[in-house]
Structure 1
Amino acid sequence: MEGLKVWRLSSSISRPSSFRQLFGLGSSSCLILRCSDGGAATTSNTRLPSRNLRSSTSTSTSDREAVRAIRLKKVEQLRSKGLEPYAYKWDRSHSARELQEIYENLNNGEELDSESHHVSIAGRIVARRAFGKLAFLTLRDQTGTIQLYCEKERLLNDQFEHLKTLVDIGDILGASGSIKRTEKGELSVKVDSFAVLTKSLLPLPDKFHGLTDIDKRYRQRYVDMIANPEVADIFRKRAKIVREIRKTVESQGFVEVETPVLQGAAGGAEARPFLTYHNSLGRDLYLRIATELHLKRMLVGGFEKVYEIGRIFRNEGISTRHNPEFTTIEMYEAYSDYQTMMNIAEEIVTRCALAVHGKLTIDYQGVEIHLERPWRRETMHNLVEEVTGIDFTELGNDLKVAKDVILKALGVGLDIKDKFSIESCPSLGHLLNEVFEIFVEPKLLQPTFVLDYPMEISPLAKPHRRIISS
């Protein structure tokens, strides 16, 4: 049984410098897809300006606390008027997108005031303008935005004054009323009544002009989604991808299982584990670094096709491209080899692309990526020779000589970090992989299966049936 390591799906907002979603084959009977969950990703490379950093941070914190104190007073004012600023429920009849679609053909200046066109919506206030006895608020829910058209004469009691003095940008409101399209063409809900459903205690980032602090965008993804609503689309696409993966593999007879996250030994990969302590058992346990070993035990127990979508934890580097916790989709099938797994990988990715984009040609950072099958299949040795001109099979078994040849041929222009990585390689297999990662990976723009990884970097892999060193 031979294996496959496939595709990294990023839900992170960051964009790598090149399309490094390439495919690599080892040799165990499995398919592995790594999915980076940007919900917790952080970056160690982000550097905030050091100039006046302490002063600006202190001022920012002071401003936030002042705003919070003011809004807490508004919470008290609402409660003193018998209004609960944190509601239990709101009956919503439509989403913003539904209203935009239903009343797409409503003419400018036209109003529908009958009972059949009375609607109820809810969402976050992201903008507001007030002109005497008239106020306009932009309400956004998860589907889009719509305008609230608020007239003093139309609202009961002191609601208009409450709207002007107690409602802030960032609050979540429920509103009901009729449908109107303004003279300027803005579809609006002409508000009869409203209620504060959740009072926001802090202002939206950067006065709703967008959250630009990269570090904060990764550490507070919920704030990022408020300030940059397009970010939520990444999460929705990721959900579609995971759903399509399940549909694809289960249509081929695979059974989904769950294996232990806490393990007595960290196995199935080469990685540094997180260590924890189990009080009842009185022993150390590790957060898993792979699902491999327990899935293989499922095969031993009699299952012939199993897979798991599972969380993995590796106590290693952290950046916008590497997260200490991430998701893998790992599959095992009896009586098959890596040729079968490559076919399954093609099927999964093409079906996911169709589910998300509706086509197999995707524009990525100005480059057209073609996902039509079949994809290119090439060995790591051949790809390295193709890009660098160096045939590793002719370098012999002397590691020092091989390093000297590599650095002499490719060392010009290499940065210190890459030179050190090459010089630190403990074996020819590691050296081949290092050259591949530095020189070949950035050039692999189209879907490519990379075959015959060296044995030194393929733990638990079965030796190649024909090539001894792979």
Structure 2
Amino acid sequence: MDHNYELDEQAQIRLDKLIKFRSAGLEPYPHNAPRTHHISQVRSTHNELEPDKQTGDIVSIAGRVMLNRIAGKLIFATIRDGSDDIQIMLTADVTGEDALESWKDFIDLGDQISATGEVVTTKRGELTVRVSKWMLTAKCLHPLPDKHKGLADPEARVRQRYLDLIVRPESKKLVKLRSDAVASIREQLRKKDFTEVETPMLQVMHGGANARPFVTHINAYDMKMFMRIAPELYLKRLLVGGMEKIFEINRNFRNEGADSSHNPEFTMLEMYEAFGDYRTMADLTKELVINAAKAVYGSAVVSHENENGVIVEYDLAKGWESIPVLTAISNAVGEEVSINSDIEKLKNLANKLQIALKPDWDSGQIILELYEHLVEAKTVLPTFYTDFPQSVSPLTKAHRENKLLAEKWDLVTFGFELATGYSELNDPHDQRDRFKAQQALEAAGDDEAMRMDEDFIRALEYGMPPAGGQGMGIERLLMALTGKGIRETILFPLVKPILYE
């Protein structure tokens, strides 16, 4: 067997066992193996047995060897499958001398095996499968991480997620939790007559958010294309077409940095409801989040570790205040900040607080920066911050009471933005003007500005009903539910590859 990297001593020993196993005419990677029960099924059907009992029930289980204790003619091992752990016992009288010796010669921690035998309990009451026959189903050629320390390095956890899943049951629970949370969202929306749709990942024109896109090339048409940064403009086309309640749960791609709350590839829920607005979207979002928590925990109470390492419980059913963003900033700085505040005053505030600004920013962009530093980062319980400057909300209706503001909210919890909602802009002439303003920003060097999308404007010209829209990051939802960073909520976050020499 060839390797493009050097094996360590333990790996070489395991490889030698594999070669010896094959030389004996045995197959270490069979096509299939007997399994009649998952381990959790064995446990649930035999959970009330007294110590030292024989059931007569014969089962076949399969899983990974996580513990292996050899004491002469007696072997105890712990087997783990995708559902649970269980002890197995091999003895010379039941398993047979040859099968017992074969286990001693060939089996290592981490090996995948199948075992058939009777369900019993030991004198200490431990539920056990007394093995009559076993087979190797996949040889593990590398030692597993220490069972107590696991993968202590967070970078190693995400780089070798398969090992993390093997040795750290918590990581497997996170996978299940994510699945249950997403299933809850889908179920809730379907009950409200929303239709799930899919829109293009490859787009001729990137739009729907202010972000830098990934650029690719399609050979068939010899043209540049973009990985989508958001599905918004396609979903709004469906509103024009008469689909009144729609949602999509899918991947977005943004060519930006990676940190504790950002990954260049992420999953987003985006939904739209004709004849709704940003208020109806806020009500629906609150319901989705609380019910997702209940779906995974049975209640809306979640646990987070604070800055002192203490586990604190938070009830996601509480909070949910709605606060104008300018009010929140005013409270944070101790003086009034309004949409009419002089830009020099805003710059002085930022300078006093050591918040870096770009020289060409308008007052709306400065207000947004103040909000992100002073308000967002310090918010714990779910809070809707509403009515952002219109100049930084290019796809949103102007506020019905003040045209300098937009009917937009950010839902913030635990110091990060969880979701954002809008009263959607449906006036094609207004939308064209907004795109022109974005073009000016692009011309000035803003590579996150939106481009003029003539096809989208043409769709709006056919008439899009008034609508509410919302976008929520699935990873952000998992962060709120678990208190974990974004790299823990994604199975395979982006990491620089290791080059094997």
Please give the TM-score of this superposition, normalised by the length of structure 2.
Answer: 0.75
Match of 2:326 in 1: 381
C-alpha spacing 1:223/1:425, structure 2 compared with 1 (3 Å): farther
Q: Give how far 1:359 is off.
A: 1.1
Q: After TM superposition, give the deviation of residue 91 of structure 1 in Å.
A: 2.8
Contact 1:92-1:120 within 8 A present in 2 as well: yes
Cα distance in 2 for residues equivalent to 1:94 and 1:394? 65
Q: Which amino acid aligns with 1:442?
A: A
Alignment match of 1:149 (pick from 77, 86, 89): 89
Change (3 A) 1:466 1:184: same
Measure, in 1, the Cα distance between the counterparts of 2:8 and 2:14: 10
1:123 to 46, 54, 63: 63
**Partner in structure 2 of residue 70 of structure 1:** 13
SS in 1 for 2:341: coil
Query: What is the aligned partner in structure 2 of residue 133 from structure 1?
Result: 73
Within the alignment, does 1:443 sit opposite 2:386 as a pair?
Answer: no
Q: Which moved more, 1:178-187 or 1:211-220?
A: 178-187
1:260-310 deviations in Å (ceiling 9; x for gaps): 101111111111111111111111111000000110111112211111111
What whole-Å deviation, never above 9, does each CA across 1:323-380 have from its counterpart, x for those lacking one?
0000001011111111111111112112111111111233333444233378211111
- 2:33 is aligned to 90
Separation in 2, partners of 1:209, 1:197: 27
- Structure 2 residue 356 is matched with structure 1 residue 396: no
- 2: CA distance, partners of 1:257 / 1:452: 29
Q: 1: CA distance between counterparts of 2:162 and 2:71?
A: 32
1:317 Cα shift? 0.4
Summarize the alignment of residues 165-244 of structure 1 with structure 2, pairs less than 5 Å apart. 165-206=105-146, 209-244=149-184
Structure 1 residues 304 and 381 mapped into 2: Cα distance closer, same or farther (>3 Å)?
same
Change (3 A) 1:207 1:344: closer
My pick for the range that moved more, 121-130 or 221-230, is 221-230
Q: Who is 1:100 aligned against?
A: 43
1:91–1:120 CA contact under 8 A, matched in 2: yes
State the partner residue of 1:54: none
Partners of 1:300 and 1:454 in 2: how far apart?
26
Residues 1:464 and 1:104: Cα distance change in structure 2 (over 3 Å): same
Root-mean-square deviation over aligned CA pairs: 2.0
Counterpart of 2:315 in structure 1 is 370
Q: How many residues align?
A: 396
Structure with bigger RCO (C-alpha 8 Å, 6+ apart): 1
Cα distance between partner residues in 2 of 1:83 and 1:96: 26
- How far has the Cα of 1:226 moved from its partner? 1.0
Is 1:461 aligned to residue 396 of structure 2?
yes
**TM-superposed deviation, 1:395:** 7.1
Q: Residue 146 of structure 1: SS of its match in structure 2? A: strand
Is the Cα–Cα contact under 8 Å of residues 346 and 373 in structure 1 kept in the other structure? no
Shift of 1:130: 0.6
**Structure 2 CA distance for partners of 1:215 and 1:292, relative to 1, 3 Å:** same
Equivalent position to 1:311, from 235, 241, 251: 251
The equivalences for 1:336-351 within 5 A come to 336-351=276-291
Separation (CA, whole Å) in 2 of partners of 1:97 and 1:440? 46
* Residue aligning to 1:426: 361
Task: Report what 2:192 is aligned to.
Answer: 252
Change (3 A) 1:423 1:302: closer
Q: Deviations over 1:101-143 (max 9, x none)?
A: 222222222233x2xx111111111111111111111101111
Which residue in the other structure is 2:242 paired with? 302
The answer to whether the 8 A contact 2:300-2:315 is kept is: yes
Q: Distance in 2 between matches of 1:367 and 1:69?
A: 46
In the alignment, which of 383, 404, 407 is matched to residue 351 of structure 2?
Answer: 407
User: How far apart are the structure 2 equivalents of 1:137 and 1:308?
Assistant: 46
Query: What is the alpha-carbon distance in structure 1 between the residues aligned to residue 216 and residue 349 of structure 2?
Result: 45
Q: State the identity as a percent.
A: 38
- Residue type of the partner of 1:332? Y
The answer to whether the 8 Å contact 1:369/1:445 transfers is: no
Q: Which runs of 5+ in 1 are unaligned?
A: 1-60, 412-418
Paired position in structure 2 for 1:327: 267
User: By how many angstroms is 1:422 displaced?
Assistant: 4.1
1:205-239, Cα deviation, whole Å (9 max, x unpaired): 23663111111112221211112121111111111
| Among 250, 257, 261, the residue aligned to 2:201 | 261
Q: Is the 8 A contact 2:319 2:381 kept in 1?
A: no
Measured in 2, the distance between the counterparts of 1:394 and 1:125 equals 64
Task: Tell me the amino acid that sits aligned with residue 379 of structure 1.
Answer: P
| Residue identity in the other structure for 1:306 | I
| Structure 1 Cα separation of the partners of residues 18 and 53 of structure 2 | 37
Q: Tell me the secondary structure at the aligned position of residue 356 of structure 1.
A: helix
Mean Cα deviation higher: 387-396 or 194-203:
387-396
Counterpart of 2:53 in structure 1 is 110
Q: Which amino acid aligns with 2:101?
A: E
Find 2:217's aligned residue among 259, 265, 277. 277
Question: Secondary structure of 1:319's match?
Answer: coil
Partners of 2:21 and 2:92 in 1: how far apart? 19
Structure-1 residue corresponding to 2:456: none
